[in-house]
Homo-oligomer: A and B are copies of this chain.
Amino acid sequence: MSILISGTVALDSIHTPTEVHNELLGGSASYAALAAALDAPVQVCSIVGRDFPAEHRALLTGHGIDIANIEFAEGRTFRWTGRYHENMNHRETLDVSIDVLEKFAPKLTAEAAAAKVLLLANMSPDNQIAVLNQVTGKPFVIADSMDLWINIARAGLLEVMQRVDLFVINEDEAKMFTEASNLVTAGWRLREMGPRHVVVKKGEHGALLFGPDNAFFATPAYPLTEVADPTGAGDSFAGGLAGSLAAAGNASPDFSDLARGVVRGSVLASFTCEAFGVKRIAAVTPQEAASRMAEFRRCTSW
């Protein structure tokens, strides 16, 4: 099955306690697409400026990613600069330059509109809705989000949640959004807001999946001893999940398809953390991914 991923394509500058890297390929759609492309054909819908480096474009197309729905617009590409602190769990945004993102009006080709799995990677709910309004293929829809949209675009986010099959959010955001101090309670409350399934991403602690009829799945995370750069881990998770569903090829994924997708997303996210930017996830081979899945099964079985 084919996957359409809409989201941001960005130039990221990342500071960690030990390193600084500037104008790396970043953005939610980039990470998600590179993860998903390990499992299925991927099209990306996004916008970049005329300054978007040819090498970044070549990296995407070199992974077989269809960029026919990426608009190359007048102006500068969206840029993000952030800094991670000692434990790598918390980051601060140092600078954001929206630029071309401000005028983004997604327009899907017929082929993109007909995709069977749609991942609305993290971007503004208005843009997510604009994509949703154009799909023709009755896709399985996954939406990822972040705290910014809970704070400044809650109405749009609530509409998105009503229209998706699976809503993905991280631990702190789930608690903030639902005002629940218990994370399991937060997950069930998010389901009541519309989506048939909810995934709560917990970083180093794994992920939780909530579904209909009290269906519940929990997985720990792949045990990383060194995290070089966690940027894009959550996007890679969502992409890996979408890729797994597309590879399974079930037009109406069942709960076990989703559970396996959550594990796939978690394992692919672990690669992303191992190097700066997309460097590691872009280098993963299907064999490496399969080997890590098998290792992960061994170290979670009892």
Contact = CB atoms under 8 A, between A and B. Distances in A.
Interface of A: 86-88, 181-185, 188, 202, 204-206, 208, 216-221, 223-227, 256, 259-260, 262-263, 299-302
Contacts of A223: 184, 208, 216, 218
A302 B256 contact: yes
B217 A204 contact: no
Given A182-B225, A205-B206, A227-B182, A216 B88 contact: no
A219 B302 contact: yes
Given A205-B202, A220-B219, A220-B220, A226 B182 contact: yes
A134 to B, nearest CB: 33
B225 A185 contact: yes
Contacts of A182: 204, 224-227
The 4 closest A-B pairs by CB, nearest first: A218-B220, A205-B205, A87-B181, A259-B302
A202 B220 CA distance: 11
A188 to B, nearest CB: 7
Given A182-B226, A184-B224, A217 B256 contact: no
Contacts of A216: 223, 299
A241 to B, nearest CB: 12
Contacts of A263: 302
A219 B299 CA distance: 9
Contacts of A185: 225-226
A297 to B, nearest CB: 8
Nearest to A88: B181
A191 to B, nearest CB: 13
B217 A299 contact: yes
B302 A217 contact: yes
A225 B183 CA distance: 8
Contacts of A259: 301-302
B225 A204 contact: no
Given A86-B181, A182-B226, A218-B299, 5 more contacts: A182-B224, A206-B218, A216-B299, A218-B223, A263-B302
Contacts of A205: 202, 205-206, 220
Nearest to A224: B184
A60 to B, nearest CB: 30
A181 B104 CA distance: 40
